[in-house]
Structure 1
Amino acid sequence: MYGGNMGNMMKQVQKMQKQMAKMQEEIQEKVVEATSGGGMVRVEVNGKKEMVSLTIDPEAVDPEDVEMLQDMILAAVNEGLRKMDELSASEMKKLTGGMNLPPGLF
């Protein structure tokens, strides 16, 4: 009685799974940039949530205040990770049409 509808739904789910897998691969190739300290520290984070680049302006290196440099690095890395999370969520939302699917469903 419901067999045809269930078959169609399963095909749609499988299609969405393939699309999501492809999109996840594409996201892993993307890179976002974040800065802190007015641009004195710049990082790039990829879609695998790996920091792939770190640039520190020599003026940010003060042997008397290493803590400030550490804070700027942490701030830039955390901002890069946040930006990548936002990008990933935005890309997935395009695919799922705004459905709030639980993490790990696909």
Structure 2
Amino acid sequence: MAKKIRGLGGRSLKSSGGKKNDLMKLMQEAQKTQELMEQELKNFENELAIKEFEATSGGGVVKVIVTGDLRVKDIEISEELADEEFEIIKDMIIAATNEAIDKAKQFKEEETEKITQKYIGGLNLGM
């Protein structure tokens, strides 16, 4: 048995390995949490591929639908635009497409933040 030294507050110099075991448990829990978060993010990415976002321009005469993985799924142009100049129609398509993409990006950012906060929200990582 190790001799206690008063200068160390009466603590034994004998190493019990308790802190090392605690650290190992913490590392294992962190790894498990990371794996769960990665799986949930992967599932979310799969869901994004089928989620749709739409936007209109020109008072609804142009509608663009994009998926959450930022692919244009459909563009609908009203027959009211049959006599309209090509440049105007093109600008409406661009505006609706950009808005739909922005909606999809914002949704992805918000949901990804929710998932991340679910797993590491309360952790102080010293950053």
| TM band (smaller chain) | 0.7 to 0.9
Per the alignment, residue 24 of structure 2 pairs with 3
Q: Match for 2:64 among 20, 43, 57?
A: 43
Aligned: 1:67 with 2:87: yes
Q: Aligned-pair RMSD on alpha carbons?
A: 1.7
Number of equivalent positions: 99
The higher radius of gyration belongs to: 2
Rounded Cα–Cα distance in structure 2 between residues aligned with 1:8 and 1:58: 59
Q: Report the TM-score when normalising by structure 1.
A: 0.85
Q: Match for 1:89 among 102, 109, 124?
A: 109
Instruction: Report the residue type matching 2:99 in the other structure.
Output: E
Rounded Cα–Cα distance in structure 2 between residues aligned with 1:11 and 1:78: 38
Q: Give runs of ≥4 in structure 1 deviating > 2 Å.
A: none
**Contiguous gaps of at least 5 residues in structure 1:** 100-106
Instruction: Report the residue type matching 1:33 in the other structure.
Output: E
Q: Using CA pairs below 8 Å that are at least 6 residues apart, which structure has the higher relative contact order?
A: 1
Q: Match for 1:76 among 96, 103, 127?
A: 96
Per the alignment, residue 52 of structure 2 pairs with 31
Rounded Cα–Cα distance in structure 2 between residues aligned with 1:93 and 1:27: 15
Rounded Cα–Cα distance in structure 2 between residues aligned with 1:70 and 1:21: 35
Instruction: Report the residue type matching 1:23 in the other structure.
Output: F
Question: Following TM superposition, by how much is the alpha carbon of 1:66 offset from its aligned partner in structure 2, in angstroms?
Answer: 1.2
Task: Say which SS state the counterpart of residue 62 (structure 1) adopts.
Answer: coil
Task: Say which SS state the counterpart of residue 55 (structure 1) adopts.
Answer: strand
Q: Report the TM-score when normalising by structure 2.
A: 0.72
After the TM superposition, which residues 6-17 of structure 1 pair with which residues of structure 2 at under 5 Å, given as runs?
6-17=27-38
Question: Following TM superposition, by how much is the alpha carbon of 1:61 offset from its aligned partner in structure 2, in angstroms?
Answer: 2.9
